[in-house]
Copies of this chain bind each other. A is one copy, B any other.
Amino acid sequence: MATLSEVARRAGCTPATVSNVLRNRGRVGELTRQRVLEAIAALNYRPHLAARALAEGRAPTIALMVSSIANPFYPEFALAVERAARMGGQFLIICNTNDDPVAGRAYLEQIAGTLSEGVLVMNANLDFADLQKTETRGTPVVLCMWERPLEPPGLPCVAVDFRLAGQLAGQHLLELGHRRIGVIVGSKASGIHVARHNGFFDALCAAGIDAGNIPVLHARDTTAGGYQATRELLEAHPDLTAIFATNDLPALGALHAAADLGLDVPRDLSVIGITDIQLAREARPALTTVAVPTVEAAELAVMLLRDLIEAGSRDAGVEPCMRVASASCLVVRDSTATARASLP
């Protein structure tokens, strides 16, 4: 790997000059500029990013902490983050915490501020205190999907109104005439799922329905979890005409369970999820769901992080701030239909 000074030597100038042409700083004579360019080409020179980072006091990467990229939602999100990061000239380091706060802390302590300039957190089940500590140490942290637009957390974040998402799902089911609805909530008492759940009940209340009769089950955020929960729900309440899952994966599991129980979706049972992951489109029947602005949230998060980084380097006041993503919207596909009139 050729270095800057080798280029300089070959071009008959000093490293500073080479650096200037590299960064298009102008102040370089056209003639020397040419010589430098030639030398760069001849030596196949590439700037050493780590060295540059050290000299500039910045880093060319940001980190994305996710619980596990094996959950199909995260890759979609990660892809959007990577694209946005690349637009800003930064590379993405993927950190799978596997829902383990200890692993998460290890990542934060090693990476934050030394290898990556900022940290994006997406449901990684990290200790809030750890996050605040890294922020205090001077590395910006952004929560990618905060669920309560009206109550900013103690950290910069992108807010997504998940309560609204739950509400939309509820309204849709109600409009189709469903009254006996089973609810599957993604397991972790993760605020995200709670908000969606609450939104759903908002819709019920608004329609004057007694939420007391609505069976609710908590499940793991996987198809298997949804499958299991659906079977239990249906066994205990054979009269259910619809299932609302706070996430697409369990909703997909509900689809499978229905098939195995010989129920036709949507004729015998309607199923609705939230998020609109790719699989929702590909499922049979295609899943009706509430689409969350995933890509937009990723872009907002990256931009916010970048702003914080720049503010930090200008020593501007960095106060916890929040960007709000667009509203979620209902995507009607083939897994929901009018409630069957006849009760068993």
Q: Does A214 contact B (CB under 8 A)?
A: no
Residue of B nearest to A282 (CB): B223
Q: Are B60 and A69 in contact (CB under 8 A)?
A: no
| A1 proximity list for chain B (CB < 8 A) | 113-114, 137-138
A256 to B282, CA, bound (A): 9
A52 to B166, CA, bound (A): 48
A53 CB to closest chain B CB, in angstroms? 5
| A268 proximity list for chain B (CB < 8 A) | none
Do A70 and B60 form a contact, CB below 8 Å, given A53-B50, A137-B1? no
A137 to B46, CA, bound (A): 10
Q: Are B256 and A114 in contact (CB under 8 A)?
A: no
| A114 proximity list for chain B (CB < 8 A) | 1, 46-51
Q: Does A126 contact B (CB under 8 A)?
A: no
Q: Does A147 contact B (CB under 8 A)?
A: no
Q: Does A13 contact B (CB under 8 A)?
A: no
Q: Are A46 and B109 in contact (CB under 8 A)?
A: yes
Q: Does A96 contact B (CB under 8 A)?
A: yes
| A113 proximity list for chain B (CB < 8 A) | 1, 46, 48
A335 CB to closest chain B CB, in angstroms? 14
Q: Are B50 and A54 in contact (CB under 8 A)?
A: yes
Q: Does A93 contact B (CB under 8 A)?
A: yes
Give the one of A46, A83, A138 with max B CB within 10 A.
A46
Give the one of A53, A76, A94 with max B CB within 10 A.
A94
A-B pairs, top 6 by smallest CB distance, nearest first, are A49-B114, A49-B115, A75-B75, A48-B114, A69-B75, A50-B53
A263 CB to closest chain B CB, in angstroms? 13
Q: Mark A31-61, 1 if CB is under 8 A from B, else 0.
A: 0000000000000101111110110000111
A50 to B1, CA, bound (A): 18
A141 CB to closest chain B CB, in angstroms? 15
A279 to B70, CA, bound (A): 11
Residue of B nearest to A106 (CB): B86
A18 CB to closest chain B CB, in angstroms? 16
